[in-house]
Structure 1
Amino acid sequence: MTQFDYDLFVIGGGSGGVRAARIAAAEGGAKVGLAEESRMGGTCVIRGCVPKKLMVFASEFPGQIEDARAYGWEVQNHGFDWVRFRTALETELTRLENAYRSTLKTAGVTIHDTRATVVDAHTVQLATGARFTTRHILIATGGRPFVPEVPGAELAVTSNEMFHLPALPNRALVVGGGYIASEFSCILNGLGVKTTQYYRGAQILRGFDDEARGHVSNAMQAAGIAVHCGTDVLRLEKTQGGIRAVATDGSEREFDLVLYATGRKPNSAGLGLEALGVAFGRNGEIKVSDWSQTAVPSIHAVGDVTDRVNLTPVAIREGHAFADTLFRGVPTKFEHLNIASAVFTQPELGTIGLTEEQARAQGPTEVYVAAFRPMKTLFAGRQDRVLMKLLVSVETRKVLGCHIVGEGAGEMIQLVAIAIGMGATKEDFDRTVAVHPTMAEELVTMRKPARIV
């Protein structure tokens, strides 16, 4: 039998790669190596979900301070100290990175803090020149922000740089209409930045339920964000006072910061995979089977580099399934179905299952909708509105989708996901006694459909 230096070599130290490495080593008894050229933890921990969510928390305090006054508290908003927050944020990210490293070392994984590429089906090479043979290779290199080729694009930043700005801008332009762009628009606006958002499409948050994304867009504009749909940047120009954005709508506006959040691309180039026969999709994603296996049997891939469902928990589940299959003797496929997600705009959007548009295409669907002003901010005099929406198959009575817009939507949708994943019917929801007074009680008290489509 051929002797290898490793049973598994993982390229990429993000959530998916780390989970696969840990399970293979600690529970599968494999000898595992892992190479990461940047900071351990990957996009989510270092430059994505975690720092972004902490920025979301920071940006929500001005509204909470105003609410506190309405509730009788004597509080003053003396402004936001960006440098103080950024320093604390970096300390927290370092703590999390060290936790990831500790977890890998405890599991017995050998860490290589450098770039690795693939030489052949069973050999990897580090940037240091060292080579290792391995029975299996796992590519878990994630994705990177994509910036279109427009004149002056070098003047813009991406989400990677947003957590390290030397100072907050006074005026910011966010280009893009997806969840990253919309979240950062809300964050900047909450932190006191005059924020404008350009999106070339007809409505932000493409791919989400139309009614839900319209609800979010209206709330963002009511909060002071200038959302311009059907608008894109033609060119950026450096000016004495900032950056001029010349747009397709004929406008020319000046900003201190331009953030491009126009999508992400898989980090698949330059790894040496092309010459080995690994297949790629149109976006550069590595094509894999349901078992996360590429066209080269010893090479697998998980996470955003495969461009299946680009969410951190999905990458973790894919990595775990891979390790279970190859190293624990438990063949496991991760089914990419009924995956709940949340968009941390203000207000939040939590969603699972089919949109109304998708459900309509599948067959007759009852649409249950509740829109109301929540008790907490109603008392404080705010005009916030919550949206609760259930989509129910007329034929099977199963709840096909749920969409929540409002404070805590991400927390609520996690629990709804359990019910929908188990195949709950509308009658199962109806039998559930409401918890009062809560916003979530609306999910079990909607009795008549608003429409049947």
Structure 2
Amino acid sequence: WEELMAYKKKVVNPMHTVLEGMFQKAGMPVYHAHGALVDAHMIQAGDERITAETIVIGTGEHPRKLAIPGSEHIHDSRDFLDLDQFPARIAFIGAGIISMEFASIAAKLGAETAVIQHDQRILGMYPKKYVDRVVQKMEQEGVTFLLDHDVAEVRKAGDAYQLVFADGEALETDYVLGATGREANVEGLGLEALGIACSSRGIEVDDHMRTSVPNIYASGDCVAKRIPKLTPTATFESNYIAAQILGLSDAPISYPAIPNLVFTLPRISQVGVTLDEAEKHPELWRTETVEYGKRLLFEAKNEMDAEFTFVFSKETGLLEGAAFFGEDAGIWADLAALVISQKMSGLALSQLIFTFPTESQGMLSLLIPLLPLK
């Protein structure tokens, strides 16, 4: 853990300085101050007032804290990634992406690890059949899953902590990480005074990423939206807004198929139409499961249980969604996103040449026969 943190600090800590240097080189001054809207064209940044024709809000989100006694003992993901020494025992409140990724790490480090979830659903946005496999692997590594457990209080107990559940039971641990959701950073920005609608979900925007004040845009995690709040989607939105400001396009925003990935060990990814949606509407979608590891063990890097599930349109036969289980799940989802967005047929894919033998070529070689020729 100490080596990992040293590497993280070496790579991540200088990043803001590098970015700031890039901004300044491009003629973009950086103000280190809290910013708030004064009017549609002015921002108060500390003691300075900045005017602009166009304003873009990109304030992101912050972790939601449980409103329970002892919440001051609950850490968030940033605290976790600044730990100098890893605790012998650690408890995660919530069973979403952050908790499951960090619990995977904790298990590998040999810590006594518990994941606590208020209901039965772990990694709710991902296919249950692949989540169940990850959970099984983590349980084999000693992770305890306490489902249908509500944390009512966190108590200090000497050098340790007690998590007290609603039913009166308790769990002792050395470190508590809360990951029960995130809320948009919208407080103190002067939004209400300008009539810009917002909530803990984020800032309301139209199909051009504009707030109710037409020259003020919002981008990234601070936007109220249904699509996944990811770094790539924030980048996509910011590029779109830049094109709008520069007059390069006036079309409404249109998102392509968006791949998303959870860095558990092993990983799960998905893109496009979900397996849950396909199962609910079998009249619209056809699914095909491919046992990748068993069919192409070399390309799967000896990962025998690596697997894909593809979702095809019954009307066109084209790929419209996919889910992946395995260490290369991110690469596979990216390729599937390209095939979906470009509406590629089997013939179109077969006319491309890929490196061999690789994880990408292996996946596509198994996908092509399942697609219509044209």
Which TM-score band applies after superposition, normalised by the shorter structure? 0.7 to 0.9
Q: Is the 8 A contact 1:430 1:445 kept in 2?
A: no
Aligned counterpart, 1:445:
366
Aligned counterpart, 1:219:
137
Aligned counterpart, 1:44:
none
Amino acid at match of 1:441: G
Q: In the alignment, does 2:294 pair up with 1:352?
A: no
Distance 1:448 1:224, change over 3 A: farther
- By how many angstroms is 1:292 displaced? 0.9
Amino acid at match of 1:186: S
- By how many angstroms is 1:296 displaced? 1.1
Aligned counterpart, 2:314:
394
Q: In the alignment, does 2:174 pair up with 1:256?
A: yes
- By how many angstroms is 1:337 displaced? 3.8
1:231-263 CA-to-partner distances (Å, cap 9, x unmatched) read: 231211110240111224653111100100111
Amino acid at match of 1:272: G
Q: In the alignment, does 2:10 pair up with 1:123?
A: no
Q: Which aligned pairs between 1:302-451 and structure 2 lie closer than 5 A?
A: 302-308=219-225, 309-362=228-281, 363-371=283-291, 375=297, 385-425=305-345, 436=357, 441=362, 444-445=365-366
Q: Is the 8 A contact 1:195 1:225 kept in 2?
A: yes
- Return the structure number with greater helix share: 1
Structure 1 unaligned residues grouped into runs of 5+: 1-79
In 1, the alpha carbon distance for the partners of 2:61 and 2:367 equals 41
The two structures have a TM-score, normalised by structure 2, of: 0.88
In 2, the alpha carbon distance for the partners of 1:335 and 1:256 equals 46
**Which 10-residue stretch deviates more, 192-201 or 296-305?**
192-201
Equivalent residues, number: 364
- By how many angstroms is 1:137 displaced? 1.4
Distance 1:120 1:222, change over 3 A: same
Q: Is the 8 A contact 1:397 1:426 kept in 2?
A: no
Name the SS for the 1:110 alignment partner.
Answer: coil
Q: Is the 8 A contact 1:189 1:195 kept in 2?
A: yes
Out of 54, 74, 95, the residue aligned to residue 136 of structure 1 is 54
Distance 1:428 1:173, change over 3 A: farther
Q: Is the 8 A contact 2:97 2:123 kept in 1?
A: yes
Aligned counterpart, 1:161:
79
Question: Larger relative contact order (C-alpha < 8 A, sep ≥ 6)?
Answer: 1
Percent of aligned pairs with the same amino acid:
26
**Which 10-residue stretch deviates more, 220-229 or 171-180?**
220-229
Name the SS for the 1:111 alignment partner.
Answer: coil
Distance 1:394 1:329, change over 3 A: closer
Out of 160, 164, 185, the residue aligned to residue 103 of structure 2 is 185
- By how many angstroms is 1:101 displaced? 1.1
- By how many angstroms is 1:445 displaced? 3.0
In 2, the alpha carbon distance for the partners of 1:317 and 1:439 equals 24
Out of 204, 225, 228, the residue aligned to residue 122 of structure 2 is 204
1:96-122 CA-to-partner distances (Å, cap 9, x unmatched) read: 222211221121101101111111111
Distance 1:361 1:163, change over 3 A: same
Name the SS for the 1:445 alignment partner.
Answer: helix
Out of 69, 93, 98, the residue aligned to residue 12 of structure 2 is 93
Q: Is the 8 A contact 1:368 1:448 kept in 2?
A: no
- By how many angstroms is 1:372 displaced? 6.3
Q: Is the 8 A contact 2:37 2:191 kept in 1?
A: yes
Distance 1:204 1:147, change over 3 A: same
In 2, the alpha carbon distance for the partners of 1:291 and 1:143 equals 21
In 1, the alpha carbon distance for the partners of 2:59 and 2:23 equals 17
Distance 1:398 1:294, change over 3 A: same
1:290-316 CA-to-partner distances (Å, cap 9, x unmatched) read: 111001112111110003231111111
The two structures have a TM-score, normalised by structure 1, of: 0.73
Q: Is the 8 A contact 1:392 1:426 kept in 2?
A: no
Aligned counterpart, 1:149:
67
Q: Is the 8 A contact 1:324 1:332 kept in 2?
A: no
In 1, the alpha carbon distance for the partners of 2:195 and 2:85 equals 46
Amino acid at match of 1:177: A
Q: Is the 8 A contact 1:340 1:352 kept in 2?
A: yes
